[in-house]
Chains A and B, each alone.
Chain A
């Protein structure tokens, strides 16, 4: 059973398009996150939600909008995609806000052409 799943695994799209990445966790965790990993493997947090409430909102362009319909799901919608958005996006979850053991999904490789 997959603990944290993301769809799609690969996403190739053109500049200016709007796309979404979906994430689901079946661990019963309260907290979910989105991370961006660039081509140099640098991993940076973008957002976190706890019980559907936005907790962390890093300095991310407002073209990125997370949505948490319930505590098991955290989706990421990206408007007007730019070349610099190309990266691997990871969803993660943890039992609670103060838990540092975060469970990561397999990642979504986004390529903007």
Chain B
């Protein structure tokens, strides 16, 4: 489905399905990649991070994949739940004192 007004990429999934949110990053020198979740009206919340020398990391119901060849990052959410509905941001770090460069954000809608 399309989200009117926000101009964010959107992803609509059925409850219980797996979700894959993609992100392209810009800087080959980035040393860490992080995913944040932002629910409506709240601040972003850390989900998971991955160091640049890894290609996969798993958390609880989430997996992050890193493909440095094509500068692509993805977040997989297993068994998506209505509480997963939010905007998801990828961020990259250039090891500059904690500076994070956030991507555009993807709005995930979970249909019951």
Chain A residues within 8 Å of B, Cβ to Cβ: 4, 31, 33, 40-45, 48, 50, 55-56, 90, 92, 94, 96-107
Pick the contact of B105 from A41, A94, A106 — CB < 8 Å?
Answer: A41
Contacting residue for A103 out of B46, B49, B96, B101, CB 8 A: B46
B87 at the interface (CB under 8 A from A): yes
Q: Are B49 and A50 in contact (CB under 8 A)?
A: no
- Distance in angstroms between the alpha carbons of A42 and B9 in the assembled complex: 12
Q: Contact: A97 with B105, CB < 8 Å?
A: no
Chain A residues with CB under 8 Å of B112's CB are: none
A-B CB pair tally, cutoff 8 Å = 70
Tell me if B43 and A48 are in contact (CB < 8 A): no
- Chain B, range 33-47, C-beta contacts under 8 Å to A: 34, 38, 41-46
B109 adjacent to chain A (CB < 8 Å): no
Hey, which chain A residues are within 8 Å of B46, CB to CB? 100-103
